[in-house]
Amino acid sequence: MDAIKKKMQAMKLEKDNALDRALLCEQQARDANLRAEKAEEEARQLQKKIQAIENDLDQTQETLMQVNTKLEEKEKALQNYAKNEPEARGTGGQRIPHQRQHLIRCKYLNGFGFGSERKDVVSSGGG
């Protein structure tokens, strides 16, 4: 009879230990699932940020191309201006100093509104 009681107590202890292990495993599984959900949410948020940054990059590159095209047009116009305007040659047909020519170029480009566009590009991080 004592042997049966000892065997039953041993089996009960084994059952209790198994239930404790099962509860612990279930809690660990819930914790792991929660961590996985958080990681997936973070991955979704990072993907959204990547998409937004890629869109910003595309827009900035497009703006840069437009500004470069305008700059080329204005530089061509400035070259024509420098060739045809007596002010660019100075009195007596002499070429004016490089610094003065640069000032004329800046005034000319700003007259076409290039200066304000460049400030917009610089302030937005595009140049």
Q: Is the dihedral of CA 63, 69, 73, 78 positive or negative?
A: positive
The reported pLDDT for the residue numbered 92 is 55
Nearest one of 67, 16, 71, 27 to 35, comparing CA atoms: 27
- The answer to whether residue 94 scores a pLDDT higher than 60 is no
Helix, strand or coil, per DSSP, at residue 127: coil
Sign of the CA dihedral with 15 first, then 17, 18, and 24 last:
positive
How would you class 74 by CB atoms within 10 Å of its CB: exposed for 0-12, middle for 13-18, buried for 19 or more? buried
Q: Does residue 123 carry a pLDDT above 80?
A: no
**Which letter does DSSP use for residue 113 in this model?**
T
Q: How confident is the model at residue 116 (pLDDT cuts 50, 70, 90)?
A: low
pLDDT value at residue 127: 45
